[in-house]
Amino acid sequence: MARTLLIGLAVAAIPIVSAAAAPATPEEAARLTALFERYVSHPAPGQPSGVSVVPAGESYAVTVDVKRAAAGLDSFGITFDPYTSKTLLTPQPDGTWKVHGDDSPPMVVHAGNQTLSFAATSSSFDGVYDPKLRTFASFDQHQAGTTTVRTSPTLDQNTRSETATWAGTGVAAEGGTVTTTAHYAATGFASDIMLKAAPAPAGTTPGNPAVPPPSRTGTAITVTAPSSVQDVSLGSLRAGALLDLWAFVVAHPTHDSLVAAQDDLKGLLRAGLPYVDSLKLKATLPVLAASTPVGVVSTKSFAAGIDASGLAATGRAAVALSLSDLAVPPGQLPPWSSGLVPTALDLHVTVDGFHAAEAALATVNAVDLAKDVVITPDQKAVAGRALWPGNGTVTLAPSRLTTAMLDLRMDGQASFAPAFAGRVTVTGTGLDKEIAALQALAATDPGAGQVLGPLVLAKNLAKPNPDGSLGWLIEFGGGPVKINGAPLQ
């Protein structure tokens, strides 16, 4: 995906009208070079350009020095190691451009105290770039042997896939925006994670300075899946506004130059807000296993997603999470917990009533790059109130949690105004079996006795349903919590 973004940047300045297929000319190559340099740091007098465009039959071979292209991010603490992107552009009679690239050198990015590197044993990209959309009308990327490495003071992560494919489209939407969708599929997914203890603060390590402090061991986790799938959709993307913002950052590569022009920067930021009206993301792994120091945690299916809309006005975000056949390492949990450990989950939560664009606007208005503290806590509070202006709801759509003995179904809703209040309905089966199992263990296991009391109380507060299940109506807000009308003391 990183390569796709780089190629998009490289062709962002292609003119609206292109020539029909014909031998490429040095004059057109020079014109394209000048256009690209808007996004790739126009060279200072006497300095080489960060982009090269040369004729290649009916096409143009474009070489971009990504380190120079991203020089404008230096003031944000983001830098690239030397990296060259090579792309072949071919003009089409309809004004679009075919884009092809097959190089796969490693790319390394430094962001603060983190380093990210991307590499692949092979990579190919083919797309159709539409200058009217200022993004790709279609693209297809295939990679093999992909590796992403992330390092930081508290985390080392090495993620690999045997194969990875990105395919997507862009379609014109209202107001000159673009709706873009992409599908990602990978095989042979694996991720080695090392959670490291945070380093001791400077000056706090006791003992002889000549003697190195003891090593701070970490926790190793390996996550594997035979395949993974992701689907992404961005509705009404302001692709042009993003590219204009990038060009501005390129033209102001230092912190001082950004400070001097921050009024213009804020104007560009405001013009593009919220940059996208809707967002959908779903990830699915048919089998997921995590090897930990205490054993393997696994599921036979895992899926997570978010569906956010109304980001330009009143927002709504729905979050879904599901997993099945969850298995935990044997012997790591007390015997009494066997009937209470979740084995499957199907959760659906929706949040309504937030105002993302207004909060972003309040943040842009408040930020002052000339100050050491670019936004104060009070200003953050103002942005927070703009995000949640005092209304909105949280809805628990029909959801389900199961254990070895329990089957719980839930739904409910809560409102934020005039005070946080709502109700949740829970319907369950298997509670009698769980209580009986805990009673059998309680004589020899104190832990079972401690859990038994709350479960017996839950049964006593339950309302029997005609089908034999038990029901609980939980009400909260404006006083003590009530269960089936009985206040909890």
Tens-digit pLDDT profile for residues 254-290: 889 999 999 999 999 999 999 999 999 999 999 999 9
**Shared-domain flag, residues 223 and 105:** yes
**Shared-domain flag, residues 301 and 228:** no
Q: Is residue 84 part of a domain?
A: yes
> Which two three-digit tokens encode residue 342?
């979740």
**Shared-domain flag, residues 337 and 448:** no
For the stretch 347-375, pLDDT in tens is 999 999 999 999 999 999 999 999 999 99
For the stretch 408-422, pLDDT in tens is 999 999 998 888 899
Q: Is residue 147 part of a domain?
A: yes
pLDDT reported for residue 331: 82
Q: What is the mean pLDDT of the chain?
A: 90
Is the predicted pLDDT of residue 121 greater than 80, yes or no?
yes
Weakest mean pLDDT among 183-197, 229-243, 327-341, 362-376: 327-341
- CB count within 10 Å of CB 441 equals 18
**Shared-domain flag, residues 255 and 277:** no
3-state secondary structure of 310: coil
Q: Is residue 410 part of a domain?
A: no
Q: How confident is the model at residue 8 (pLDDT cuts 50, 70, 90)?
A: low
Average pLDDT over every residue of 206-219: 59
CB 64 within 8 A of CB 40: yes
pLDDT reported for residue 250: 84
Average pLDDT over every residue of 161-179: 96
Rounded (to 5) percent helix, strand, coil in the chain = 25, 45, 30
Average pLDDT over every residue of 245-249: 89
For the stretch 292-303, pLDDT in tens is 998 999 999 999
**Shared-domain flag, residues 175 and 307:** no
Domain boundary among 236, 259, 282: 259
User: Whats the size of the chain, residue-wise?
Assistant: 489
**Shared-domain flag, residues 451 and 398:** no
Is the predicted pLDDT of residue 149 greater than 90, yes or no?
yes
- Check residue 92 and report its DSSP letter: -
Weakest mean pLDDT among 1-15, 114-128, 291-305, 336-350: 1-15
**Shared-domain flag, residues 381 and 248:** no
Average pLDDT over every residue of 204-220: 61
Per-residue burial over 65-103, b if 16 or more Cβ lie within 10 Å, else e, is bbbbbbbbbebeeeebeebebebbbbbeeebbbebebee
Q: Is residue 342 part of a domain?
A: yes
For the stretch 75-95, pLDDT in tens is 888 999 998 889 999 999 999
Average pLDDT over every residue of 1-22: 50
**Shared-domain flag, residues 446 and 370:** no
Is the predicted pLDDT of residue 433 greater than 90, yes or no?
yes
**Shared-domain flag, residues 376 and 475:** no
pTM to 2 decimals? 0.86
Is the predicted pLDDT of residue 5 greater than 50, yes or no?
no
pLDDT reported for residue 419: 85
Q: Is residue 152 part of a domain?
A: yes
Is the predicted pLDDT of residue 16 greater than 70, yes or no?
no
pLDDT reported for residue 114: 95
Q: How confident is the model at residue 40 (pLDDT cuts 50, 70, 90)?
A: confident
3-state secondary structure of 311: coil
Q: How confident is the model at residue 472 (pLDDT cuts 50, 70, 90)?
A: very high
pLDDT reported for residue 17: 44
Average pLDDT over every residue of 158-169: 97
For the stretch 378-411, pLDDT in tens is 999 999 999 988 789 999 999 999 999 999 999 9
**Shared-domain flag, residues 247 and 119:** yes
pLDDT reported for residue 72: 77
Range of the domain at 237: 1-196+219-259
Domain boundary among 345, 376, 404: 404
CB 10 within 8 A of CB 64: yes
**Shared-domain flag, residues 295 and 392:** yes
**Shared-domain flag, residues 332 and 462:** no
Average pLDDT over every residue of 463-477: 96
Q: Is residue 444 part of a domain?
A: yes
Q: How confident is the model at residue 201 (pLDDT cuts 50, 70, 90)?
A: low
Q: Is residue 411 part of a domain?
A: no
Domains of the chain: total: 3
Q: Is residue 203 part of a domain?
A: no
- Sign of the torsion formed by the C-alpha atoms of 417, 420, 422 and 428: positive
Is the predicted pLDDT of residue 105 greater than 80, yes or no?
no
The more confidently predicted of residues 15 and 70 is 70
* 327, burial (CB in 10 Å: exposed 0-12, middle 13-18, buried 19+): middle
